[in-house]
Amino acid sequence: MKIHVDVVSAEGEIYSGSASMVFVAAELGEVGIAPRHAPLLTRMRPGQVRVQQEGQDEVTFFVSGGVLEVQPHLVTVLADTVERAADIDEAEAEKAKKRAEEAMAEAHDRVDMARAQAELAEAAARLSIVQKLRSGH
Amino acid sequence: MAGAKEVKGKIKSVENTQKITKAMEMVAASKMRKAQERVEAARPYAEKIRRTIGHLSEANPDFEHPFMVEREVNRVGMIVISTDRGLCGGLNINLFRQVLAEMRHWEERNVPVELVVIGRKAASFFRRLTDIKAEVLDLGDRPHIDDLIGTIKVMLDDYREGNADRLFLMGNRFVNTMTQKPESQQLLPVQPADDDDLPDHWDYIYEPEPAELLEDILVRYVEAQVYQGVVENVACEMAARMVAMKSASDNAGDIIDDLQLEYNKQRQAAITQELSEIVAGAAAVS
């Protein structure tokens, strides 16, 4: 009795083949999946995915999270390539918005180059002072 | 020989240009192959996640995520994928033309369109025409999904808050090396594929709640689609640049041929003139 396993990430297929047993770090603890497992859908924690095949060495992958889907004849590991957290996503979204706003502002009133550079230099100086102060403590 | 020398200089400069375009052509060709591999590599994830969504909508048909519900269209969001650099033929302009047509289509129905852009070319083009909600630039030849997450989230949040009722992805599709086709694809609401031989009555064991899981999966699904669009656009960019540079190299070759002919003529004329001067001089002496 075998179960088909697909381990994929958005940037590439990691593993595809059959197995006799699969172990995954699910959100509520490690789960072992044998063929004819009940349908299961769960989030994964960062951890190992181990694929066991009879008569062969165990294959191990590290995933930084994602979603696991189990069907009686099929295991799908949708692995994330990046670590995800709501606040990180939020910060990224803010950055993307800000870039657009800044670019728009620039298009509306073209600040003259010299002034912009002066401001930039000032900001850089401030930053280096802050860094010095921090490293002093 | 003054004229001939000038022509020789022109030949030299065109030859230098040709060297550059030839090099760019070859670089684009090898980058295109790599980009195509990446497009292939991204495909399994999109397929698998679509399959899972299909299973999910079959298992639990009562529960519907906002990303899967068709709403009345009052506002539309578009994600436009362009290249960062030029010298790739009409690739971007063809796409922008289609985007503009789509925008007009919606605006005629009094449906405002919101834009999110990927790539420098789209950013500078659409900035003059409309407000851009978010942008991401300089992804390079090897884009990563983490560079896209923020930009996509802006659109997804808009969708959640009802500021967009439909979400489209506009980018170039790689048909073959010679042909790239601008294409519009509906991202949201997601239309699940229901083609499977699963039994009728079953449900998953969910850990944690189905709503949270579905949210996770759908967000990843959209991200995977956009990522695939971006990688495919890189392949298109490289193919278009390769073709454009090839024709530039060919044109340079033609110009060099013409100039060479011109040079030979001038040289011949100079020799003839010199000869006739010598002959005339000799005749005058004797």
pLDDT, tens only, A98-134: 877 777 676 555 555 556 666 666 666 666 666 666 6
The model's pTM is 0.81
Contact A96 B135 (CB under 8 A): yes
**A84 pLDDT above the threshold of 70:** no
**Is B88 among the catalytic positions?**
yes
Give B98-102's long-range contacts (Cβ < 8 A, gap of 24+). B98/B170, B98/B182, B98/B184, B99/B126, B99/B170, B99/B182, B102/B78, B102/B168, B102/B170, B102/B184
Element (H, E) at B243: helix B210-285
Question: How far apart, in whole angstroms, are the C-alpha atoms of residue B121 and residue B117?
Answer: 9
The two tokens of residue B181 are 């086709």
Which residues on chain A are in Cβ contact (under 8 Å) with B41? 11-13
Of B11, B53, B79, B88, which is the active-site residue?
Answer: B88
Q: Is the model more confident about B245 or about B216?
A: B245
Q: What angle do CA B103, B76, B234 make, to 5 degrees?
A: 70
Structure ipTM over 0.85, yes or no:
no
Beta bridge partners of B117: B80, B135
Give the per-residue pLDDT at B242. Answer: 95
* Three-state secondary-structure class, residue A11: coil
CATH topology of domain B2-22+245-285: Helix Hairpins (1.10.287)
- Count, in order, helices (H) and strands (E) of chain A: 2, 8
Alpha carbon distance A16, B51 (integer Å): 15
Write down the residue that tokens 């996770």 correspond to. Answer: B216
Q: Are B124 and B107 in contact (CB under 8 A)?
A: no
Point out which residues pair with A17 in neighbouring strands: A5
| Residue from the list A78, A97, A104 with its beta carbon closest to the beta carbon of B220 | A78
CA distance A30 to chain B (A): 12
B180-207 mean pLDDT: 76
- Give the pLDDT of residue B206: 83
Superfamily of domain B26-243: ATP synthase, F1 complex, gamma subunit (3.40.1380.10)
- pLDDT tens figures, B34-62: 999 999 998 889 888 888 887 877 776 66
What pLDDT sits at residue B46? 85
Domain boundaries, chain B: 2-22+245-285, 26-243
d(CA B79, CA B148): 11
Residue B4 CB contacts under 8 Å (≥ 6 apart), including other chains: B263, B266, B267, B270
How does the average pLDDT of chain A come out, rounded? 79
For chain B, how long is the longest CA-to-CA vector? 119
Contact yes or no for B132/A103 (Cβ under 8 A)? yes
- Chain A residues whose CB is inside 8 A of the B220 CB are 10, 66-67, 78, 80
Strand partners, A74: A4, A71
The three-state secondary structure class of B65 is coil
